[in-house]
């Protein structure tokens, strides 16, 4: 009897302890180490991925995505899609104010869309919401958006920068200078930004979600050097860091002084082949190069298990992932490579130049591809080009092959459409196939998951035969934190949502 | 003297003008479209074109140069294409950081180099000389980034004596400011010290071999006095030039060191601006660095003429 009482007491004490450990605590300063200096604080002007890390706390979006990439409410509490997928009607959250006191309502949403669509403002978001035909304020808390045509990825797009609502008062007053004094509705408001030094945010007491904004302040600091970033975390100068070098991961897994978060990401990486000029306007030669690559070995050597071997644009967990063609990793086949070389009119091999950006990982990938292709007489010349220059050369289709990937979007459309459809902004291969285009257009209109999945599977089958891009791997998504950081949910989009995070004593 | 200074000052004007031409042309010759880099290729071609127009990139290079120069003369360095901040504001924000780092680094460098150089020359071909020379060689040979990372791991991660990197203004937290400066200043200082030490050693050897030093010794002066009062002063003349150049170089930003220690100075600004093709900012930074070097050189020349009156006299006669 005594023993059971004691056991009960112990259990109760443990439960009590657990409960108190789980109760969010307010206060403190959360220090976040980013991998680059966020250049622009206006979500409608921003182009750098790192900006989005700060935006998660500064701005609310119309909708958000959860860890399974499902769309969840944020500033819009509910929505209906009617008119064959062309009309989106959003019910907005009441009693929401911007940091400058401006009320958030349907008029504000309308203004935000007009701002993104304004030609003279040249917003990088314009292209994302270009299908918007009309924004109608039905009542203060209802807004209706009519699209030119059905567009299934629309909600996913609104879960990112295009869905972030800026204060119309501040945006009108500041114009492009809004980037220097951003005003949103998020649980943290802007205090200051010192270029290459820090971005400071402070809790916004009038935020609609009483459970959000637990720490008093957030300080973001940029560390471009991965080693320096990690050293700062280990020395207790930072609480969270974004991204680690693949070589640091095995140690971090064993390190009990830090918490490592690891999961599959959304991006894809591989090699662009320029299909509008020699040598890769010859499909057989593209297939020949592909057949020489042993993806499994490449990934194991360069990344260990910090990346997943890939053969398509849809990483695990994303709609479209289980398409058979995407899952099947082609085995290395030198006989096939030789056959394709003969078919392509180059039986004894050929030479091409592959552009890579500076860095150890890039160089390793380049050299591995070079030696693998070399075995059938394909000579790969590696040319190291600075990132900005590479972008320009790719946009102008002035290259033969290039190592560059895509950071990924929550909806599969964002991982394929603009990258491979004829004439699309990110189609670096100059690739064009009318049937492929039709399938991807169909996937945008189709509303059921199953139908979309099938369209993507068919499109992938075409791509895996024509090979405008050699998919190699999907990088995993890493965050490292001090043990006192609580409440983190690791989302595949890699965004650190700090609003419900807190520091234990 | 005034005549000399005025003439030297006049000479800097064409130099600076030439600098603006070089800065502008070279930066515009960097491959890569700034509009495309800015917009990231996410938008369509029409958006890129619109942005190019907005950034004034559709105009001919010469026209852009004249517009830029005209604004420059009126004190307008332009605005950052990243977030519209005035370039001058950002430069002024970074300047105190860089100046502080430069001063501390040079202090470290000279504190090491001057005694080491003098000792090495005085005790030539002794253990002291060999040690100083080896350390100096190591200082030149060890790459900044490696030494930086090693220092961070030793003093910040393992011993936890110093914060690993970052910056805080001295008026907010003076103690922490000094702690943060120690490692980057050491990394920069040891590399700079090596050069000064080597130069001072050979310059000292030369001076120590001259007749007036022999006379001083003959007068019965002690080694200490001969070195401190006579030899060092004369040996410092060529060293002063190098020190000036070092200061000028540091004011242009210590790119790698600032990067590793996350010091938000001119060097980091330069790197970030180049990678993002922030032309107005890069032009501002490079121009500033060039002006700093021209100005420091000018000051060194003036100091030089005080140290060695022959220079002034020769110049005045011509």
**Closest-approach residue (CA) in chain B for A427:** B41
Stretches where chain A sits below pLDDT 70 are: 1-22, 320-327
Residues of chain A found within 8 Å of residue B157, distances taken between Cβ atoms: 231, 234-235
Q: Nearest-CA distance from A41 to chain B in Å?
A: 8
Contact by Cβ (8 Å): B170, B90: no
What was the pLDDT predicted at A323? 56
Q: Choose among B166, B259, B276: nearest Cβ to A221.
A: B166
- B83·A235 Cβ contact <8 A: no
Please, what's the largest Cα pairwise distance for chain A? 88
Contact by Cβ (8 Å): A176, B51: no
Q: Choose among A122, A224, A388: nearest Cβ to B54.
A: A122
- A196·B269 Cβ contact <8 A: yes
Q: Choose among B36, B90, B261: nearest Cβ to A395.
A: B36
pLDDT in tens, A138-190: 999 999 999 999 999 999 999 999 999 999 999 999 998 999 999 999 999 99
Mapping DSSP to helix (H, G, I), strand (E, B) and coil, where does residue A203 land?
strand
**Closest-approach residue (CA) in chain A for B32:** A389
Q: Nearest-CA distance from B282 to chain A in Å?
A: 14
Mutate to test the interface with B, among A126, A235, A429 (most CBs of B within 10 A): A235
**This prediction's pTM:** 0.84
Give the Cα separation of A195 and A47 in Å (integer). Answer: 16
Q: Nearest-CA distance from A437 to chain B in Å?
A: 17
What was the pLDDT predicted at A241? 96
Q: Nearest-CA distance from A54 to chain B in Å?
A: 15
Q: What is the mean pLDDT of chain A?
A: 91
Q: Choose among B51, B90, B260: nearest Cβ to A225.
A: B260
Residues of chain B found within 8 Å of residue A180, distances taken between Cβ atoms: 83-85
Give the Cα separation of A80 and B61 in Å (integer). Answer: 52
What was the pLDDT predicted at B168? 87
Mutate to test the interface with B, among A193, A228, A417 (most CBs of B within 10 A): A228
H or E element that contains B4:
helix B2-29
**Chains A, B: CB contacts under 8 A, how many?**
137
For residue A405, what are its two tokens? Answer: 């990937």
Q: Choose among B47, B84, B261: nearest Cβ to A176.
A: B84
What was the pLDDT predicted at B315? 53
Contact by Cβ (8 Å): A105, A141: yes
Is the model's pLDDT at B45 over the cut of 80?
no
Residues of chain B found within 8 Å of residue A387, distances taken between Cβ atoms: 275
Is the model's pLDDT at B41 over the cut of 60?
no
- List, in order, residues 6 or more apart from A125 with CB less than 8 Å away: A43, A44, A116, A161, A162
Predicted-complex ipTM score: 0.74
Average pLDDT, stretch B1-10? 81
Q: Nearest-CA distance from B283 to chain A in Å?
A: 17
Give the Cα separation of A114 and B117 in Å (integer). Answer: 68
pLDDT in tens, A341-393: 999 999 999 999 999 988 888 999 999 999 999 999 999 999 998 877 888 78
H or E element that contains A29:
strand A29-34
- B165·A387 Cβ contact <8 A: no
Burial class, B211, CB count within 10 angstroms (exposed 0-12 / middle 13-18 / buried 19+): exposed
What was the pLDDT predicted at A13? 47
Q: Nearest-CA distance from B111 to chain A in Å?
A: 28
Cα–Cα distances in angstroms (integers) from residue A265 to residues A142, A406, A479, B65, in the given order: 34, 11, 12, 45
A467: number of CA atoms within 13 Å, CB side?
Answer: 21
Q: Which residue has the higher pLDDT, B85 or B252?
A: B85
Q: Concatenate the DSSP letters of all residues of chain B into one string.
A: -HHHHHHHHHHHHHHHHHHHHHHHHHHHHSSS-HHHHHHTT-S-HHHHHHHHHHTTTTS-HHHHHHHHHHHHHTT---B-TTT--BHHHHHHHHHHHHHHHHHHHHHHHHHHHHHHHHHHHHTTTSHHHHHHHHHHHHHHHS-HHHHHHHHIIIIIIIS--S--S----TTT-HHHHHHHHHHHHHHHHHHHHHHHHHHHHHHHHHHHTSHHHHHHHHTT--HHHIIIIIIHHHHHHHHHHHHHHHHHHHHT--HHHHHHTT--SHHHHHHHHHHTT-HHHHHHHHHHHHHHHHHHHHHHHHHHHHH-HHHHHHHHH-
Residues of chain B found within 8 Å of residue A196, distances taken between Cβ atoms: 94, 264, 268-269, 272
- A388·B276 Cβ contact <8 A: yes
**Closest-approach residue (CA) in chain A for B262:** A223
Q: Nearest-CA distance from A384 to chain B in Å?
A: 14
**Closest-approach residue (CA) in chain B for A178:** B83
Q: Nearest-CA distance from A142 to chain B in Å?
A: 29
Q: Choose among A42, A124, A236: nearest Cβ to B42.
A: A124
What was the pLDDT predicted at A12? 47
Is the N-terminal amide bond of A279 cis, ω within 30° of 0? yes
Nearest to A426 by CA among A436, A416, A437, A440: A416
**Closest-approach residue (CA) in chain B for A224:** B259
Average pLDDT, stretch B81-97? 87
For residue A61, what are its two tokens? Answer: 């979006």
Cα–Cα distances in angstroms (integers) from residue B196 to residues A123, A191, A456, in the given order: 52, 44, 66
The residues facing A401 across adjacent strands are: A273, A354
**Closest-approach residue (CA) in chain A for B52:** A122
For residue A48, what are its two tokens? Answer: 């750098």
- A176·B166 Cβ contact <8 A: no
């Amino acid at each position: 009897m005594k023993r059971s009482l004691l056991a009960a007491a112990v259990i109760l004490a443990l439960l009590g302890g657990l409960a108190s450990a789980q109760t969010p605590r307010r206060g403190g300063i959360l220090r976040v180490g980013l991998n680059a200096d966020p250049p622009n604080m206006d979500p409608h002007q921003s182009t750098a991925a790192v900006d989005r890390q700060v935006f998660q706390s500064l701005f609310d979006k119309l909708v958000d995505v959860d860890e399974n990439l499902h769309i969840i409410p944020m500033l819009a509490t509910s929505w209906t899609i009617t008119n064959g997928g062309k009309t989106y009607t959003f019910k907005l959250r009441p009693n929401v104010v911007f940091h400058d006191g401006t009320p958030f309502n349907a008029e504000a949403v309308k203004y935000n869309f007009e701002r993104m669509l304004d030609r003279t403002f040249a917003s990088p978001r314009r292209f994302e919401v270009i299908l918007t035909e009309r924004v109608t304020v039905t009542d203060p808390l209802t807004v209706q958006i009519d699209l030119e045509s059905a567009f299934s990825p629309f909600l996913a797009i609104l879960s990112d920068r295009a869905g972030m609502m800026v204060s119309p008062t501040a945006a009108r007053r500041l114009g492009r200078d809004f980037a220097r004094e951003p005003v949103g509705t998020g649980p943290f408001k802007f205090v200051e930004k010192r270029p290459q030094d820090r971005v400071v945010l402070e809790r916004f007491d009038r935020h609609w979600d009483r459970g959000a904004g637990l720490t008093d302040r957030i300080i973001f600091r940029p560390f471009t050097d991965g080693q320096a970033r990690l050293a700062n975390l280990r020395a207790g100068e930072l609480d969270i860091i974004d991204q680690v070098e693949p070589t640091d991961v095995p140690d971090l897994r064993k390190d009990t002084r830090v918490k490592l978060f690891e999961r599959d990401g959304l991006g894809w990486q591989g090699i662009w082949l320029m299909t509008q000029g020699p040598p890769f306007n010859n499909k057989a030669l593209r297939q020949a190069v592909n057949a020489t690559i042993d993806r499994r070995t490449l990934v194991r050597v360069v990344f260990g298990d910090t990346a997943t071997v890939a053969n398509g644009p849809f990483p695990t967990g994303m709609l479209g992932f289980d398409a058979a063609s995407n899952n099947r990793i082609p085995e290395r086949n030198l006989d096939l490579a030789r056959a394709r070389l003969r078919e392509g009119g180059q039986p004894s091999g050929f030479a091409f130049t592959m552009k890579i950006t500076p860095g150890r990982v890039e160089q390793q990938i380049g050299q591995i591809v070079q030696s693998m292709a070399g075995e059938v007489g394909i000579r790969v010349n590696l040319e190291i080009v600075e990132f900005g220059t590479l972008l320009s050369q790719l946009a102008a289709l002035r290259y033969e092959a290039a190592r560059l990937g895509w950071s990924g979007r929550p909806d599969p459309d964002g991982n394929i459409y603009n990258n491979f459809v004829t004439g699309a902004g990110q189609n670096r291969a100059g690739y064009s196939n009318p049937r492929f285009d039709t399938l991807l257009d169909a996937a945008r209109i189709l509303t059921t998951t199953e139908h979309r999945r099938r369209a993507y599977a068919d499109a992938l089958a075409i791509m895996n035969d024509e090979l405008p891009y050699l998919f190699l791997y999907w990088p995993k998504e890493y965050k490292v934190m001090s043990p006192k950081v609580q409440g983190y949910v690791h989302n595949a989009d890699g965004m650190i949502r700090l609003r419900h995070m807190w520091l234990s004593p | 003297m005034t005549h000399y200074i005025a003439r030297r000052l006049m000479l800097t004007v064409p130099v600076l003008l030439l600098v603006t031409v070089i800065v502008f042309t070279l930066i515009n010759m960097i491959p890569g479209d700034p509009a495309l880099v800015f917009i990231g290729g996410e938008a369509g071609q029409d958006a890129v074109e619109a942005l190019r127009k907005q950034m004034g990139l559709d105009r001919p290079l010469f026209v852009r140069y004249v517009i830029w120069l005209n604004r420059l003369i009126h004190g307008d360095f332009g605005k950052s294409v990243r977030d519209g901040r005035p370039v001058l504001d950002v430069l002024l924000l970074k300047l105190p950081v860089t100046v502080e780092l430069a001063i501390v680094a040079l202090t470290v460098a000279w504190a090491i180099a001057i005694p080491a150089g003098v000792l090495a020359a005085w005790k030539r071909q002794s253990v002291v000389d060999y040690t100083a020379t080896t350390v100096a060689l190591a200082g030149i040979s060890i790459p900044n980034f490696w030494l930086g990372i090693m220092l961070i791991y030793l003093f910040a991660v393992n011993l936890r004596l110093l914060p690993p990197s970052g910056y805080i203004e001295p008026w907010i937290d003076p103690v922490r400011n000094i702690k943060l400066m120690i490692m980057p200043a050491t990394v920069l200082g040891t590399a700079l010290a090596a050069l000064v030490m080597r130069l001072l050693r050979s310059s000292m050897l030369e001076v120590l071999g001259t007749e007036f030093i022999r006379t001083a010794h003959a007068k019965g002066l002690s080694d200490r006095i001969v070195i401190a009062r006579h030899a060092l002063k004369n040996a410092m003349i060529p060293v002063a030039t190098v020190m000036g150049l070092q200061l000028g170089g540091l004011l242009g930003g210590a790119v790698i060191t600032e990067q590793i220690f996350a010091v938000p100075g001119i060097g980091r600004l330069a790197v970030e601006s180049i990678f993002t093709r922030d032309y107005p900012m890069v032009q501002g930074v490079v121009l500033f660095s060039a002006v700093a070097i021209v100005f420091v050189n000018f000051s060194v020349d003036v100091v030089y003429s005080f140290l060695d009156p022959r220079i002034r006299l020769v110049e005045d006669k011509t």
